[in-house]
Every structure is written in C-alpha cells, then in structure tokens.
A and B are shown apart, each in its own frame.
Chain A
C-alpha cells in the first residue's frame, strides 16, 4: 500500500499523469462498480444491507432462479419475441428506408420526422392510448400486440440507419449492375442490400436488444399472458431479495453481450451516426 500513497504517486508520475490517472480511476469506478456490484451480489447467498461485501458467497440464488419455470420460459419467450420483432421490423422498414433514400416526394421530411415522434412522447402515455386501440382490435394479451409495441419502439432506428446506409450507395453503382444484366430485383439483392448491410445489421441489433429489454409496453399489452425476461425482472425485484435480481440481471446481460461481440465489426461510429441525418 505504501506505493499507492497519493503524495508519492503525484511526485512519481508528474502532475499531468497523476490527474489523468485519477480521472481514469474515477471513471472506471463510476462505470463498472454497479456492474461489479451486481456480479458480486449474484454470487452471494446472504447479503444484508449496510455491508458492502456479502456475508456469505455461493450459488444458492442461481439454483433458485434456474429452477423457477416461469423465469426460464420467459427467457424463451423473450428470444422468440425479439427474433420475430426484428424480422417483421426488417420487412417493414428496409423497403421504407429504400423508398426514402431513393425517391423524392412531397412530405418526405415530415414522414421522416414522424418516426421521431414515437420516441418524443412519454412512453407510458403512448402505451395507454395504444392500449385503447388494442382493446378494440383484440390485441391485448396477444403475441401480435407485443410485437407491434416492440416494433413501434425501434421504428426510428430501423428506418433511419438503413436509410443512411442506402443513401451512401451511388446511383451509378446500381445502374452499373443493371447495365451488366441484372434485373431490378437482382440489383437489390446482389448490390444494394449487401452494400447497406452494415447499417441494416446495426439497426437489427438495436431492435433485437431493444426488444429483449422492453418491459413497460410488454407489461401493459402482454400481461399476464405474455411474459418476457424484462417483465419477469419486475416480479423478481419486488418479490425476492436483491441477490435474486442480480442473478437475473446477469442472465439478461448475456445475450446482449453475445450479440454485441458477434457483430462488433459492424458497430462503428460510422455506421451508427452516418444514418442519423434529416435531409
């Protein structure tokens, strides 16, 4: 510990380095300590509040969570819903993005701006008014209803990001493909889509992860018939000790981490911010 004495460090590192070092340490603590705390709590058998370190470590809550059938089925539900929501969203949004990137028409800007609106309202208010409509169309408590809520949440990303990617494709590149003998559909499949793939991939990841962690809308529309990991989380936190919540949170993180890892080469500032332009 002697060599961690601040005074000693200050003189050893020099003023500039010392400040950088301090700032970096604060940043790391701020950023990672909640996460580390969650990990620590997840492997605690007994934890009482004023203490920082749990009183007893173990896997007790893991076996509890994994043995709860409703929790396990909610994980399955979450993935099915996320996959379907992403797929449907792609089918709806990519053609829309293509149209917005290629054709000039009246009201184009207004339309693009309208995608932002769903994100501008307080979510709960939006869900309540949607709920009224959903009752009318018998969508309450149905799989389709939940999917619609999830899609509405990510509509903006799913249109804007692919649109930015599509707009970076030059018309000549598509025309050259027509010229060498590709039909419009072949051009889209072999040239346009592959070239826009980074943008579309990032948007899909957003949608997929967004759907995995969406809880408010799912609760309102799907409860109690449809349970996802995110809605179960509420139950776990309110009914069981913090340690159970920590275990569940860790399980929730795994798919997100996995996906981010798999698609890390697509997730670059370019492909994310290149798309966010209104023009």
Chain B
C-alpha cells in the first residue's frame, strides 16, 4: 500500500476573492481512501478539481504515478471524478452513459458489454442498462456515476461529496458499499466531504483543511484523539473547551467522568440530563462554563438536575492561547 500514487507539491491556487489553496503538500498512497474534510470555502473541492484537471494551478506540481500532469487536460488524466449531482447524461441510457468513455477509448464492443455487465453486477444494479437516468433514484444515479468512473480503471478516483444530496439512510448504505468496493478493487480514492462523521467512517486518512491550508493529516483515530489545534478539535466530534489561566483544555464528553462523592478535581452543578439511547448527555455548570459529559444510562439514574457533582478528565488536550 505504501507507494505514493499521487503527490501534490507546493500546490497553490488563489481566486480573486481570496479563496483557494496555498502551498499544499500531500501524498496519496495506493489503495487508500484519503478524505479532504473542512467547512465550505476551505479549498477542499478546489484541491480535488486541481487533481481532476478542472482547475489550473498558479504554482506547484501534481504528480500521478510519478508523472507531472499539470499541463494535461481533464480528458488526458488518469483520474475519474464523481460530482455531487448531475453526473449522468439524461439523453443517454444507463448503458450508453457507462459505455461513453470506453467507446472514446475505442474498446471493442463485446469487451465494453462484458465490462459493463460485471460492473453492474458488482454494484447490484443489473437490469438497469436500458433505463434512463430519470428513471433511477438519486442513490442509484450516484452508483451508476461511480460505476462509470470505475470502468475506466482510473489511477485515482475523485469523489466530490457524492452522497451529500442523498437522504441519511441511503448515505450510510452507500458509504459502506463504497468502502467494500474500494477494498475489493484496491483503488485509490480521494474523497471530499464536509461531514465529519462520513470522513471518520470512510477514511484511512483524513486531511482537515482550514482556509486553503492543511490543518492536520492523520488517521481518523489520530485526528479524533490528538487534534493538533483547537480548530481541528472543534471540527471533529464533540468537544468541551474548559478555559484555564494560560489556555484551554479540550476534552471529549466521553472522557469526562462524574465521580462519586467529592473525589473529582472539578466541581460543578448539573444543569440538565438528556437520555440519548444507550447513554445520557449530562450538562454540568463548572465555574460558569458548560461542560458536557456522556454517562452510561444506568449511571445516569443516580443523577438529577441541580445536583452538585465532581468530575475528572480522563484524557484531554491542552492548547495555549492563540493556538
């Protein structure tokens, strides 16, 4: 897995309004799902489009399989992209949509047919060849778009928030399927999303982006457990920030343990308790600050609102002021 398939070196692209990306250095390894995560306007889609050849860059190099592709038009690049929506051509059937790229590559007809058949089998979409895109559901359309990209055997598959227009249940299903297919075909994937949950669930590595720069690169576990800055900490998962004299403590609600009696280092008052299924979310007023703690449901029965409690922090990060 460990040879870099894609390398971005000092990539810079600035728009007139100040958005864009700046000095991006990044490697994508063969067979991994790398997710670009960040709020809108952070440059994640710009970066993906740079790889696909849809955005020219002001400075830097983009290497795919060791070759500089900066000068290549999208149709010459070994990349395949799936957009958020409107991927398919409505005047073509599913088969024609899938065959389009292969026909341009002058593949023999029988081979095209076979490839499409096995791809549709893989995606459990067989029988849709003669349908038009408007006869498919949103999820099915995205599946066909992914199939069309995979059929061209790209060096890297670029996915631009492909599931964000789908409803929650289908989205989950598509994530799992994508992960399964990715593992099965061992393809390299670059995935863009603003949904941190999706990033955590899918990725081998996550790149958290902030205003055109990389804030942190790491596995989901690293990003979750050791966020390097307050920005990353606040963007991923739930996080309490407790102000101190010279900085802040960042602690996850599951790492706040409510202690019996007065044995905890921090003392406060419970302001509210919410049962959220198998656990409860308890809000504690600690010196005027709101601290959230996740408590097992059985333990939450001993607590009630306005009750004074003490708690301790099992694991936390400390950020200096201004970091």
Contact = CB atoms under 8 A, between A and B. Distances in A.
Given A172-B83, A186-B104, A179 B89 contact: no
A175 B89 contact: no
Contacts of A181: 75, 101, 104-105, 152
B86 A172 contact: yes
A170 B104 CA distance: 21
Nearest to A178: B74
Interface string B66-108: 0000000111000111011111111100000000110011000
Interface stretch (A101-109, A146-154, A187-195, A270-278): A187-195
B266 interface: no
B148 interface: yes
A183 interface: yes
Given A181-B101, A190-B100, A175 B74 contact: yes
Interface in A149-187: 170, 172-173, 175-183, 186
A173 to B, nearest CB: 5
Interface string A195-212: 101000000000000000
A194 B80 contact: no
Contacts of A173: 86-90
B52 interface: yes
B89 A177 contact: yes
Contacts of A197: 91
Given A170-B86, A175-B83, A180-B80, A195 B73 contact: no
B145 interface: yes
A177 B92 CA distance: 12
A223 B105 CA distance: 55
Contact of B81 (A170, A179, A190, A194): A179
A169 to B, nearest CB: 9
Query: Which of A176, A178, A181 neighbours the largest number of chain B CB atoms within 10 Å of its CB?
Result: A176
- Interface majority SS (helix, strand, loop, mixed), chain A: helix
Nearest to A187: B75
B151 to A, nearest CB: 9
A175 B91 contact: no
A178 B81 CA distance: 10
A190 B100 CA distance: 9
B81 to A, nearest CB: 5
Contact of A180 (B54, B91, B100): B100
Interface string B238-260: 00000000000000000000000
Nearest to B152: A180
Contacts of A176: 81, 83, 87-89, 145, 148
Nearest to A173: B86
A22 to B, nearest CB: 43
Given A173-B88, A180-B152, A181-B104, 4 more contacts: A173-B90, A176-B88, A182-B104, A183-B73
21 contacts: A172-B84, A172-B87, A173-B87, A173-B88, A175-B54, A175-B81, A176-B145, A178-B53, A178-B73, A179-B79, A179-B80, A179-B81, A180-B100, A180-B101, A180-B148, A181-B104, A181-B152, A182-B100, A182-B101, A195-B91, A197-B91
Interface of A: 170, 172-173, 175-183, 186, 190-191, 194-195, 197
9 A-B pairs with the lowest CB-CB distances in the bound complex, closest first: A180-B101, A170-B86, A172-B83, A178-B74, A172-B86, A181-B104, A181-B75, A179-B81, A194-B91
